[in-house]
Amino acid sequence: MAIEIPEARKVGMVSLGCPKALVDSERILTRLRADGYAMSADYAGADVVLVNTCGFLDSAKEESLAAIGEAIAENGRVIVTGCMGNEAELIRAKFPDVLAVTGAHQYEAVVEAVHEAAPPSQGPFVDLIPQPSDAEIKLTPRHYSYLKISEGCNHACAFCIIPQLRGKLASRRIDAVLREAEKLVAAGTKELLVISQDTSAYGVDVRHEEREWKGRKVRTHMTDLARELGQLRTPEGHAPWVRLHYVYPYPHVDAVIPLMAEGLITPYLDIPFQHAAPNVLKAMKRPANEAKVLERLKAWREICPDITIRSSFVVGFPGETEEDFQYLLDWLDEAQLDRVGGFRFEPVAGAAANDLPNPVPEAVKEERYQRLMEKTAAISAAKLAAKVGRTLPVIIDEVGEPDEDGDIGATGRSQADAPEIDGAVYLRNVPASLKAGDIVQVEVEDADAHDLFGVIV
């Protein structure tokens, strides 16, 4: 008599927020697949739906609550996890039918909740089959991967509640991080995006302990990590791009710049400056060393002329005067940052900044935000225009369909462009053999304020 193997239970996932949350989603789904679950691409086919929430800003919370509501309406069997998990009472008050609520990166609790809501259907015969524990589920394209090196943060910035949501800094073992990176590159990753709440602080909590890796000792430290990641090679023998995000400008960051000049890691730093005016930085409880930063930016560019500096700034922080804002604009003229994101200050429950005096009116916030974007767009346009005529390496993200003339276009990114947050490189007349993940040499033919346009050479 034939034995009927039961159909696997299916889990749906809605992942919101930053890349760090996306990594959490990947790890949760990987664990569930190892337990015999299948993934569902829609609400209808899921036995249970996970909503990985973001709770960084009130607007993000509203988006998370809307996603929970949609999942409840479309499926009805919903488990909530992520940064809003510490507001379980609010979630349950609004959605009493939610099956469970867990906090950020609480993988065991999420998996247990899924087991209770939709017990694994695998029987004794299926249990004998080895589970693919080495096959990680990725929610990003095959050619790039986020590499999370730590959790939590030791800072106490007035506008932020990340330490309340994700706790104090907890660094991963450096040998475990390098092993994961090696596996990702071996499986087809061409670009590693190193992420954390504070990449520069990696290893502080463990006093930069040493671990054995490839027959030598390596410290749990950002510079050691960067150097080792620069030694990785794809199956074709090429060095993957290694991109550093959320890098606070501590003094030891200077040691990473020569690695970029040597081509070991991608010449790109994502530094969350947030502001430049000393009064605002002090109110934000952030180090006010804007003048020294300008000196260091100049020194970095002398060592590695192609370095890209990306940052983000908050306008309309309580107490920010017109003089403070003008200081920021003048500082940006000096700093000439390559990529800039802007945010209007937004109160978030639990943040110290909510109690600060002299809130900035919404209309003033908006006006300053528009001026910030105008300033940074002009800087970006000039920097990109200077690249016209150059030949740059570009990683391909998407290849289009042939048009009526048979021409094929493609979208990629230069080393100055991180996925989702920076610009793109648009290519014309690419070969039909081109595919996502290919790294090609591109002659830049044109540019606008944010993107480049070119052709493969």
Mean pLDDT by 10 residues, the chain (457 residues): 65 89 88 88 93 86 93 95 89 94 85 91 46 61 93 86 83 97 95 95 97 96 97 95 94 95 96 94 79 90 97 96 97 96 88 90 97 97 97 97 92 96 96 96 97 97
Please, what is the Cα angle at 314 between 80 and 222, to 5 degrees? 70
Answer yes or no: is 304 a known binding residue.
no
pTM for the predicted model, two decimal places: 0.82
What does the buried/exposed string (b/e) look like for 71-81 if buried means 16 or more CB atoms within 10 Å of the residue's CB? bbeebebbbbb
DSSP three-state, residue 357: coil
Q: List the one residue out of 308, 302, 298 whose CA is nearest residue 241.
A: 308
Provide the β-strand partners of residue 101.
Answer: 80
What local confidence, expressed as pLDDT, does residue 290 receive?
Answer: 63
Query: Do you know the residue count of the chain?
Result: 457
Asked whether the beta carbons of 78 and 48 are under 8 A apart, the reply is yes
What local confidence, expressed as pLDDT, does residue 156 receive?
Answer: 81
Query: Could you tell me the two tokens for 80?
Result: 């909530």
DSSP three-state, residue 333: helix
Asked whether the beta carbons of 84 and 54 are under 8 A apart, the reply is yes
60: which residues sit within 8 A by CB, 6+ positions away? 16, 17, 54
Q: What is the set of domains in the chain, with CATH numbers?
A: 10-127 (3.40.50.12160), 144-385 (3.80.30.20), 391-456 (2.40.50.140)
- In which residue are the tokens 């030598």 written? 216
What local confidence, expressed as pLDDT, does residue 30 receive?
Answer: 86
Provide the β-strand partners of residue 243.
Answer: 193
Answer yes or no: is 153 a known binding residue.
yes
Q: Phi and psi dihedrals of 84, rounded to 5?
A: -85, 0
What local confidence, expressed as pLDDT, does residue 35 receive?
Answer: 85
User: Can you tell me the distance from the alpha carbon of 404 to that of 274, in angstroms, rounded to the nearest whole number?
Assistant: 47
